[in-house]
Structure 1
Amino acid sequence: MRRLYFLVPSVESAKAIVTELLLNHVPEEKIHVIAKEGTPLEDLPEARLRESSDLIPALERGAAIGGATGALAGLAAVALPGLGLVVGGGTVLALTALGGGVGAWASSLQGISTPNSQLTQFQDDIEKGQLLMLVDVPKDRIHEIEDMIKKHHPEADIAGTEPDKPVFP
């Protein structure tokens, strides 16, 4: 999946695009709209916290860092003379899991209160009244969806595509 970004000038334009996307088999849960606070979006699919904050990237980073820290702590516990034989590999696994969980929890608290870093480039346009549409589509449909928007909605500004993210950061 890749995320497409479109800036549109009005709620009416966004509604027309959403309708066309739905007719072209893009599920509603893959369409998200972000607008200036106070803009009535009516029945448009509003972006959730997951799309508008840095929750998911922060959660991933926290789990990775916390898990690595937990694994190192477990290995250090096993390496202690006399304690290592008693503690064993189960402790390493337990501390890795505990570290990953605590890291994910702690960093998600920060991430949920931080605006999505991918969206900062659009903040000025949103404040000026434009609506930002985020549309998640399979890689093989990117050009089809972009061409459809260009052809039927010249008022929409195709503002880019989110790059692929590696499986492991």
Structure 2
Amino acid sequence: MTLRYRKRRLYFILPDVQITRQVVNELLLARVEERHLHALARDDTDLEDLPQADLFQRSDIIHGAGMGLGIGGATGAVAGLTTIFFQPSGWAESGGLILAIALVGAMVGMWASGIIGTSVPNSRLKQFQKDLDAGRVLLMVDIPEGRMEEIRELVKKHHPEVSDRGVDPHIPAFP
């Protein structure tokens, strides 16, 4: 995959909603699609018409689902092995039963952990919690790796009051 298409997430802390709106408008003019902009603030802050962070950005649903997939799959495999050892004669002789129970365990684990993850704040955003509590706005910008410096310079040039808080090394594939 070339640098042009690999995405990175930039984090910016903005002092208020008004400046966030200005930055978002400038990013839209710089051809950053609105679906790649995610604003997050305290619950009592009205972000108005800004593109808001959705469940995938706000919660630990992805991390929870991944953990549930692994743990559920392992638990299902152990349950499948246990079933084979204690099965009445004539049951499945192959590992197909183990695989089937492991898959069911993985799916149930992923579903249950994903649901739990929706109620847990995103662990990657803990570093921004003090700023959010102070009434500032977090803006996450998902852009191709080749445009990182261009976007950072654009924001810094027009808004020195905005704090550049770095880059996430990778973005989950599906949100």
- Name the TM-score class by shorter chain: 0.7 to 0.9
How many residue pairs match? The answer is: 167
Which residue does 2:49 correspond to in 1?
43
Identity %: 46
Q: 1:83 to 1:45 in 2, by over 3 A?
A: farther
Which residue does 2:21 correspond to in 1?
15
Q: 1:83 to 1:113 in 2, by over 3 A?
A: farther
CA distance in 2, matches of 1:105, 1:28: 29
Deviation at 1:127, TM superposition (A): 1.4
Paired residues for 1:27-106 under 5 Å: 27-80=33-86, 83=89, 86-106=92-112
Q: 3-state SS of the aligned residue for 1:43?
A: coil
The one-letter amino acid of 2:71's match is: I
Deviation at 1:164, TM superposition (A): 3.2
Which residue does 2:144 correspond to in 1?
138
Q: CA RMSD in A?
A: 2.2
CA distance in 2, matches of 1:60, 1:5: 24
Deviation at 1:14, TM superposition (A): 0.8
CA distance in 1, matches of 2:171, 2:151: 20
1:124 aligns with 2:130: yes
Deviation at 1:106, TM superposition (A): 1.7
Q: 1:2 to 1:86 in 2, by over 3 A?
A: same
1:26 aligns with 2:32: yes
Q: 3-state SS of the aligned residue for 1:86?
A: coil
CA distance in 1, matches of 2:172, 2:130: 29
CA distance in 2, matches of 1:89, 1:165: 36
Deviation sequence 1:61-97 (CA, Å, 0-9, x none) = 1111111221233234345576586252321221121
Unaligned runs of 5+ in 2: 1-6
Q: Which has the higher helix share?
A: 1
Is the 8 Å Cα contact of residues 78 and 84 (structure 1) preserved in structure 2?
A: no
1:152 to 137, 158, 163: 158
Is the 8 Å Cα contact of residues 9 and 171 (structure 2) preserved in structure 1?
A: no
Unaligned runs of 5+ in 1: none
Is the 8 Å Cα contact of residues 34 and 51 (structure 2) preserved in structure 1?
A: yes
CA distance in 2, matches of 1:91, 1:66: 16
CA distance in 1, matches of 2:135, 2:143: 25
The one-letter amino acid of 2:11's match is: Y
